[in-house]
Amino acid sequence: MPNDLTLSDESLWGSIGWASQTMGMSKDNFMRRRPKMMQEGFPAIDDLTNLYLKADVLAWIDRRRKVSATIPDSEPEPKGVKLDAL
């Protein structure tokens, strides 16, 4: 079986094997779930390369986040007149 070069960090394109690993699924499970994921906006395989653009897959995953990646400030800056600045 040939080496899957898309599993390297240098490759910007990913195979079905890469996509299933990225999603934490077996290939079979990924292929079963792919139609439903595509209905939810999961990117299609590129016609020219027959691979996934990794950035598109990662962006789809990022859009599905339920929790923000940034931590809000614990105390917002007070609004109004700063009396101590007078």
For residue 65, what pLDDT is reported? 87
pTM for the structure as a whole: 0.74
The set of residues, in sequence order, having a beta carbon less than 8 Å from that of 14 and lying 6+ positions away, is: 6, 7, 22, 51, 52, 53, 54, 57
What is the pairing mode between strands 52-53 and 13-14? antiparallel
Query: What b/e readout covers 44-74, taking b as 16+ CB neighbours within 10 angstroms?
Result: ebeeeeebbbbeebeebeeeeeeeeeeeeee
Identify the pLDDT of residue 58. Answer: 96
- Segment among 30-34, 62-66, 75-79 with least mean pLDDT: 75-79
The per-residue pLDDT for 68 is: 72
Taking a C-beta distance cutoff of 8 angstroms, is the pair 14, 54 a contact? yes
Computed from CA positions of residues 20, 21, 24, 25, in that sequence, does the dihedral angle turn out positive or negative? positive
Kindly report, residue by residue over 15-58, the tens digit of the pLDDT: 999 999 999 999 999 999 999 999 999 999 999 999 999 999 99
